[in-house]
């Protein structure tokens, strides 16, 4: 498999929002490659989180890329807001888009990397044909909505399917996994081709962020070396 850079993306959904600036600086200093920002609207996702104002604040606090995961209805309406607020990568759920192609074009047209995903109960076919048209494919290993959920083991079939396609076609598309990621699940996912690991509770739930970020990176690197 063509080797893509392993990246660790702590999700601020599990951070202490009383001290968000300190939290994002701390994970950056601890070696994080991106900050994962979960946007939820209480419609598409059964939870509410935050919007562009928080993205702007995080953007002012760190220099690593902001990886924004949109879990909202009608994302078309808000793409400009999130790009302007400072998203470096913007991932949308295919099941929320009336034209995924137009959404991808708009994101990339604004100079932002585009990602696509679907919830675990939606067909992978909704995004499969876009592997070479986007910068990132995200496999959801939990349902969009909350941190701290258990990794759904069946989602490894999806990781393998996309990972094999990326590898066979020599693409540089990032393969990201999100939900229930720890050193053990990261090992499994990396073995099937994932290279970007989102982790909320595993990183922010620990005392030592560096130790957790390194544990994820080491787990992924070792797993890839074995394959």
Chain residues binding ligand DX5 by CB under 6 A are: 11, 13-14, 36, 38, 69, 142, 144-149, 178-181, 198-202
The C-alpha torsion from 122 through 157 and 195 to 93, rounded to 10°, is: 0
DSSP strands (E only) in the chain? 7-10, 35-40, 66-71, 89-93, 113-118, 136-140, 174-178, 196-199
Contact partner at residue 83 from Zn ion, ligand DX5, none, CB < 5 to 8 Å by partner kind: none
Q: Which sequence positions are flagged as catalytic?
A: 38, 178
- C-beta closer to ligand DX5: residue 11 or 28: 11
H helices present in 36-78, as ranges: 52-61
- C-beta closer to Zn ion: residue 69 or 93: 69
- C-beta closer to Zn ion: residue 38 or 106: 38
Tell me, rounded to whole angstroms, the distance of Cα 181 from its chain centroid.
11
Q: Does 178 bind Zn ion (CB under 5 A)?
A: yes
**Choice from 38, 41, 67, 135 touching Zn ion (CB under 5 A):** 38
Return d(Cα 93, Cα 71) in angstroms, integer.
Answer: 7
Q: Does 67 bind Zn ion (CB under 5 A)?
A: no
Contact partner at residue 147 from Zn ion, ligand DX5, none, CB < 5 to 8 Å by partner kind: ligand DX5
Contact assessment for residue 112 and residue 89, using Cβ atoms and an 8 Å cutoff: yes
- Which residues here bind Zn ion, judged by CB under 5 A? 38, 69, 178
């Amino acid at each position: 498999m063509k080797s893509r850079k392993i990246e660790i993306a702590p999700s601020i959904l599990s951070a202490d929002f009383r001290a968000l600036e300190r939290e994002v600086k701390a994970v950056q200093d601890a070696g994080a490659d991106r900050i994962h920002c979960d946007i939820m609207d209480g419609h598409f996702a059964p939870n509410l989180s935050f919007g562009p104002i928080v993205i702007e604040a995080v953007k002012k606090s760190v220099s690593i890329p902001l990886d924004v995961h949109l879990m909202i209805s009608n994302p078309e309406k808000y793409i400009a807001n999130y790009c302007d607020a400072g998203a470096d990568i913007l991932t949308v759920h295919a099941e929320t888009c009336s034209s995924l192609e137009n959404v991808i074009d708009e994101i990339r047209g604004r100079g932002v990397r585009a990602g696509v995903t679907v919830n675990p109960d939606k067909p992978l076919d909704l995004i499969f044909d876009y592997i070479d048209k986007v910068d990132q494919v995200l496999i959801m290993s939990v349902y969009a909505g909350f941190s701290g959920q258990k990794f759904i083991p069946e989602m490894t079939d999806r990781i393998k399917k996309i990972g094999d396609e990326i590898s066979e076609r020599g693409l540089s598309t990032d393969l990201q996994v999100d939900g229930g990621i720890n050193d053990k699940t990261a090992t499994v996912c990396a073995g099937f081709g994932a290279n970007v690991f989102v982790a909320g509770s595993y990183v922010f739930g620990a005392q030592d962020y560096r130790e957790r970020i390194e544990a994820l990176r080491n787990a992924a690197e070792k797993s890839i070396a074995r394959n």
